[in-house]
Structure 1
Amino acid sequence: MFAYIVEKVKTITQSWKQKHLSHGGKEVLLKAVALAMPIYSMNIFRLPKEICEEINSILARFWWGSGERKGLHWYAWKRVSVPKSEGGLGFRDLEIFNQALLSKQVWRIMQNPNCLMTRILKARYFSDGDILKTKLKRKASYAWKSILYGRDLLTKGMRYIVGDGSQVDMWTDPWIPDHPPRPPRAVGEVQLGEHVKDYLDPNTKQWNEQMLRQFVIEEDVQKIMALKISPLAQQDLLGWHYNEDGLYTVRSGYWLGSLVRISFT
């Protein structure tokens, strides 16, 4: 299904081989043209790992080659794809970029609950209304499987902003502003199903420090006490932790995906 993408990238790079280009010229062509060609498909579908590796090998051959001559690959393509600030050349890792683009689709579904696409997908796949917690159903379409692949990255960077604390599960939802966002760590066994509001003083609507110190480890107590609670807040907000405005962007998603890949490997 995705063979046409590989052929398009191969055709365009072969047409460049006849030209004598500097490494700067090659970098511009690869980033502005070759790496942009699969974007339309990557917005909707998850490209198989084999397709991503095949495209990477085409780009690597063009980068290290000189005209029709094959050049020596001094570094692996993954090393070249590292950001320039970390010693690479900043070429996009297609697999991570694909996931960041699909995460954007999940974000749009969350932000536009009344649009036609959201209503159709909701009726078919997540009738309970929570796309972040829905499970993959049998006979799901490949497009939906791809969207859930993007969701896996999005959930790693989502965090609750505590309002009244009634919607945030104390021990399972990510609301501590750490990297990545997470729930607090308990001193011992705790009662599941508790909400953050249970740890707020009902009169002042501020943190119940005595109760926190009883159930939460000291390091996390300090982080919780640093969170300001508005007594006028009436709801909890779920946003993207890695932007100040709480909105997801492909750039920040790609950054997080790169860090996850580095820590995993």
Structure 2
Amino acid sequence: MQWTDKKQSKALDWTKRFHIINGISRGLLYLHQDSRLRIIHRDLKPSNILLDEEMNPKISDFGMARSFGGNETEANTKRVVGTYGYMSPEYAIDGLFSIKSDVFSFGVLVLEIVSGKRNRGFHHPGHQLNLVGHAWKLFKEGRALELVDDLIVETCNQNEVMRSIHIGLLCVQHSPGERPSMSTVVLMLGGEGTLAQPNEPGFYTERKLIDASSSSSKQESCSVNEVTVTLIDGR
């Protein structure tokens, strides 16, 4: 089953959601570090996270994935694939992808799991930011708890929730060099130590500006309903 199913998501209390976050983080750690080849998924999104009967998440759909051997950690491509809302800025704009591209996507997923809302298509009466921008705004104002899904806000472990939001924002920082590795993310999720302060996230602009720029780009691929679409530039 997909954790994006509406009936399923309503049944997910905080304990289950945190279990899913931890499971995804460990799955990415395996791909980035523990597998024989380093694998970058490049299309990490809710519909590519499957749950078994015990709510254990499985990362699926490796059709867009790229593998690296040796000391390779990043690459550049003119063929950008993925889904808007989950692609890192350096990948969506310049075609540069690395393990930190997946880290960005993971951070978006964390904020979505906590809030019960989607990054793309998120609406707020007070601004035109996406969910990531909204989370960053609340965090800076000391109101991060307002991001939490109403279905779990009264029963969740507030320390775990606030730490998860903080980690999510560290993962979606604009600069890939500032984002933590998945090994660090796993340690942060399981620990109680002090976390670094996140910097501004990628795509932290009003949505109208994002739409205008993305619609004029020929190299980006777009999916508004989580069906991946790829645009290929001719040589």
TM-score by length of 2: 0.27
Higher helix share: 1
Higher strand share: 2
TM-score by length of 1: 0.25
Answer with 1 or 2: which has the greater Rg. Answer: 1
